A and B are shown apart, each in its own frame.
Chain A
Amino acid sequence: MALTLDRIEALAPDQPSLLAARKLLKPASWPTLAESEGLAWGECQGSGATPYRVVISETDDGYKCTCPSRKFPCKHSLALMWMRAEGKPPFAHASPPEWVKDWLSRRRKTTPTIEKDDPEGYSKPKASISLARQYEETEKDDPKAEARAAAARERNRQDREASMLAGLDDLDVWLNDQVHRGMAAFVAQSAQACRTIAQRLVDAKVSGLASRLEALPTRLFTLPENARSRAAVEELGQVYLIASAYRRAAELPADLVAEARQAAGWTLTRDALLGDAANLRVKGTWRVVANITEVQPDRLRRVETWLWLESPMEPGPRFAVLIDFVPVATGAAAGGYLTGDRIEAELIYYPSSLPLRAQIVQLVGGAQITGDDLELSANTLPAAYAGYERALAQLPWLRTWPLAFHSGFIRRSHDALYLCDEERTLALPLHAAQATQLLPLLSMGSLRGIGLWDGYQFTLTWAQTALGRWVYA
């Protein structure tokens, strides 16, 4: 049964959804549009770091989108249906990619609910496509209002700065208390202690440090018991460094100041990021080498998509990480891309002395699935680790750093797994959460790979072995 505009109206949760969908009818927003046997899918570049993947079933009005919207269907799904119903732009005929097949295999029998309170069959739709077409955003050209708004924004900014500085003073007092009590005692009551200071920092709008401290107890308790007190020294020391750098902004290089401000809690909007010509942009072919998700204490799911630049044309960063935050309740467990995907894209990096976090400026086409290996012949594991040490010297509160290496070996000592170099001069403890998945690599011999080092544990995300590619799922 082909989709019709009437059907889409009936499915739309409300008029604003249709309005939002209408704005997405531009082909430029959809680097991928394809169809096959009653299915249609696409990738839509939204406000998130990674494009949203959308699939619809024309036979039974099923749909799925990776965006965090709580409206069903979301504007992306509606826009895809709308384009399909109108037959423009054209959809390429293609075999469904793996992410579409995964959705099909997980589908449960559901029927989109359409209320039947009308004796003749269906209730009147809550939304109207014709109204959506007629709606025009008229820009209200009011210089005085704009000036008032700008002044209000500046006042708010100054208020926030003052509030944050006061919050950092409270943080100093709290840190001194922990130094006085000692790290062993701190670890024992870290949950309560961190919850208390985090709340104060949230009130003071120092949300970045609040999140860091709120997540600290969990971070400590993933480590072996005998390592936790020293780790507490490291973590609290970094918190003080961030606070200190924030206060001394006038004395520090701009990149480091930008990092300190982001770490403290200032966010950079996509528009501001794109609007700054000084921000580093890199075009190229990228491979997705890791998808890492983590539920934060604030009930947001942090989704990291790590990219590796396949063919760098000039010196610059080889890695980039796209970070999205989605509400846990939406159930989206992963970003839009699968590990191994290849994308042609221009990325823009957030300002930093060590460019790593980025957003996609523009995609050329959609993601391609490929089994190609990566060229990872540059560094042995010790050489890659030395790169981490250089990065740490540049950014003292560096959290996670990607390492690309060759000639690595997975080895076991008692119950723990390690990534070692061939000469056994370096042994990085592997993250306990991936122990089961790593077991098949124990007898694989030498491998080339990519992973993430967080200062305590290494998360292997990609390995090229004699038996093919292993990826962390």
Chain B
Amino acid sequence: MNGTALKNEALPSLLSGSGRQPFAAGLTMDGLSPANSEGALKLLSLTAQALRFERPPMPASFSIETAPNDTRPIVPAGLRRPIVRLLAGKTSTEHPAIAIARTFDRLRWRPHPFDLPALDTFVRVYAEQLGATALAWANRQKADAPDSGYFDAETLDDTNWMQSPPGRRVRYIETQREQDPDRARASLEAAWAQQPPDVRLRLLQAMQTGLSESDQPFLESLDKDRAPRVRSFALRLLSRLGSSHENQALQDCMQRIRQTQAGLLKRRTVLALEIPATVKEEAAPAWIRALCAEVSISELAATLNLSETSLPEAAAKDRNMLLMLALMATADRRLDLLEATVAHLENAWELLESSGLDDLGLMSVKERTQWVSILAKPYGRKLPERFFSWMWLHKMTAQAAPETLLKNVLETDWLSAVPGFDRHGQYWTEIIAALAPAPQRPALRQLLHTFDPTLTTTALQLVDILDAMEKSGTHV
């Protein structure tokens, strides 16, 4: 009896049960009838063997796989394991991941494809900074993942900017706006309908660069955009152009500002912001942020009939007004005004954090570093001791801190004196390691080696990795 006969004649009875479908009478094994228990078991074992020699069936078809067009070089082999060990292991905070992601982006590297499964969480959060392959990996299970291949060219132009990650699209438009605003607007208009809502808002923010009356028709056409935030931002830009469109947010703001004159010999304007009695003190920063979110400094100054540069001095006695100006100066990238404001508001860092500010918009790397310097300056060596303030700072900028800030950490015993350091020191060492600029890492290492090793394991691993990445790569 061969395998085929066993599969055809014995298998059906084995599957359904010999009680329901008895074996065929002719199926005998060594003279034993299958009705005999030994004969039945012999049939079982021989049929089993026949099945085991069947080769697996060939699927009818296979998918065609296309690899993303990723021009970024892969991270050097010697760094793969340390990076996976750090990011896939137990870190106390997300700050090592932020630091490594920005370094990948700056060096224009990508993770090794074979490490993507182990780094899945990291890749999904920071995919835009890691190249086309990482983007494809992060989006592989999304229903609306693009059919076209992922793409992240080194140099963007009018033919390929649309295929790059969203962050790079925004930077491309902003750069084009600096050179040829009308042409940039035309590129944007042509591609507008294909952008998702969050990307449309970011691209619209790029329109602030080189804003002029020739942008007015396009901005007016956005009153039919499906995204409310896009519509309101377009209105904001239109009001800056002095169009007839009213900025309701500006009206709301003006209702809360009290403008008076003080001084006998030399009259000066004094501004104060009135907070409703129903808003609790701890909620005031968030309320203020909501109030001024859609108002620009130039609009406010024009409505108050004051110069922009005189606003901080006018608000000097009112902390709520100063906070509002700090928020507006940040949104408008007016770091000169921010600096003048913070001169009167020594804890601006913590107040901006408590306002819920969560985005620095299109600020460049250099601007973000300067922004941190301005906020940190009034503190001197008495830096904030709340971990969440530092966490917020790093997440806002996603950059290394200015050296002036870290100097105050590295040259004092401030870090070890932070309340709770002995229990939560690993959080602090990680974030300081993530914030430390490259020139200050040797000093940071020295400091870390003075602490209990269990508080500095991941921090030192991070410092080693960042140093090795920067030594191997070229800075962009």
Contact = CB atoms under 8 A, between A and B. Distances in A.
Contacts of B55: 385, 426
A330 interface: no
B141 to A, nearest CB: 10
Given A238-B45, A412-B65, 20 more contacts: A60-B453, A102-B85, A106-B90, A182-B13, A182-B19, A184-B16, A229-B15, A230-B11, A234-B48, A236-B44, A236-B48, A237-B46, A412-B63, A413-B63, A436-B117, A439-B137, A440-B116, A467-B112, A468-B77, A468-B114
A227 to B, nearest CB: 10
Interface string A149-175: 000000000000000000000001101
B85 A105 contact: yes
B278 to A, nearest CB: 47
Contacts of A413: 59-63
Interface in B50-108: 51-53, 55-63, 65-67, 74, 77, 81, 85-86, 89-90
A414 B62 CA distance: 8
A396 B116 CA distance: 40
A411 B58 CA distance: 12
A109 B92 CA distance: 13
A233 B11 contact: yes
19 contacts: A101-B85, A104-B457, A107-B454, A108-B454, A172-B38, A173-B37, A182-B14, A182-B17, A184-B16, A185-B17, A233-B11, A396-B45, A411-B63, A411-B65, A412-B65, A428-B56, A440-B114, A442-B65, A467-B112
B113 interface: yes
A392 interface: yes
Contacts of A455: 52
A470 interface: yes
A233 B6 CA distance: 12
Interface of B: 11, 13-21, 37-38, 40-42, 44-49, 51-53, 55-63, 65-67, 74, 77, 81, 85-86, 89-90, 112-114, 116-118, 120, 137, 140, 452-455, 457-458, 461
B457 A237 contact: no
Nearest to B67: A443
B59 A105 contact: no
Contact of B17 (A181, A234, A235): A181
B92 to A, nearest CB: 11
Contacts of B17: 179-185
A233 B192 CA distance: 61
Contacts of A175: 41, 44
A389 B3 CA distance: 14
Interface string A432-443: 000011011111
A233 B49 contact: no
Contact of A237 (B45, B65, B86, B458): B45
A385 B54 CA distance: 12
Interface string A282-299: 000000000000000000
Given A106-B90, A389-B53, A437-B117, A176 B40 contact: yes
Given A98-B81, A104-B457, A443-B66, A179 B117 contact: no
B362 to A, nearest CB: 34
Contact of A176 (B41, B52, B81, B117): B41
Given A105-B86, A467-B113, A234 B52 contact: yes
A172 B15 contact: no
Contacts of B454: 107-109
A233 B44 contact: yes
A233 B48 contact: yes
Given A229-B15, A233-B15, A237-B49, A176 B37 contact: yes
Contacts of A218: none
Most buried by B among A179, A238, A241, A470: A179
A244 B42 CA distance: 9
Q: What DSSP secondary structure best describes chain B's contact surface?
A: helix
Contact of A241 (B15, B45, B113, B461): B45
Contacts of B14: 179, 182-183, 233
Contacts of B90: 106
B2 to A, nearest CB: 15
Contacts of A389: 53
A63 interface: no
A94 interface: no
Nearest to B54: A230
B47 A233 contact: yes
A109 B452 contact: yes
Contacts of A473: 118
Given A176-B41, A185-B17, A392 B65 contact: no
Interface residues of A, number: 63
Contacts of B52: 234, 392, 396, 455
Interface of A: 59-60, 98, 101-102, 104-109, 172-173, 175-176, 179-185, 229-230, 233-238, 240-241, 244, 371, 385, 389, 392, 396, 411-414, 416, 418, 420, 424-429, 436-437, 439-443, 455, 467-468, 470, 473
B114 A470 contact: yes
A233 B51 contact: yes
A259 B47 CA distance: 22
A430 to B, nearest CB: 11
A233 B19 CA distance: 16
Top 6 closest A-B pairs, CB basis? A237-B48, A182-B17, A413-B59, A109-B454, A443-B67, A440-B113
B41 A105 contact: no
A230 B51 CA distance: 8
A429 B55 CA distance: 11
Most buried by A among B11, B18, B118, B453: B453
Nearest to B46: A237
A176 B34 CA distance: 11
B367 to A, nearest CB: 36
B82 to A, nearest CB: 8
Most buried by B among A60, A181, A233, A238: A233
Nearest to A429: B56
A443 B89 contact: no
A411 B62 contact: yes
B19 A180 contact: yes
Nearest to A110: B454
Nearest to B19: A180
A328 B72 CA distance: 43
Contacts of B45: 237-238, 240-241, 244, 396
Contacts of B49: 237, 241, 396
Most buried by A among B20, B59, B61, B461: B59
Contacts of B120: 436
B113 A237 contact: no
A372 to B, nearest CB: 13
A175 B39 CA distance: 12
B130 to A, nearest CB: 14
A377 to B, nearest CB: 22
Nearest to A108: B454
Contact of B19 (A172, A181, A183): A181
Nearest to A445: B67
Nearest to A426: B55
A110 to B, nearest CB: 8
A381 to B, nearest CB: 11
Contacts of A234: 48, 51-52
Nearest to A244: B45
Nearest to B62: A411
Contact of B58 (A59, A229, A427): A427
B62 A412 contact: yes
Contacts of B62: 411-413, 418, 420
A427 B49 CA distance: 20
B53 A392 contact: yes
Contacts of A240: 41-42, 44-45
A182 B20 contact: yes
A102 B90 CA distance: 11
A64 B38 CA distance: 53
Nearest to B10: A233
Contacts of B51: 230, 233-234, 237
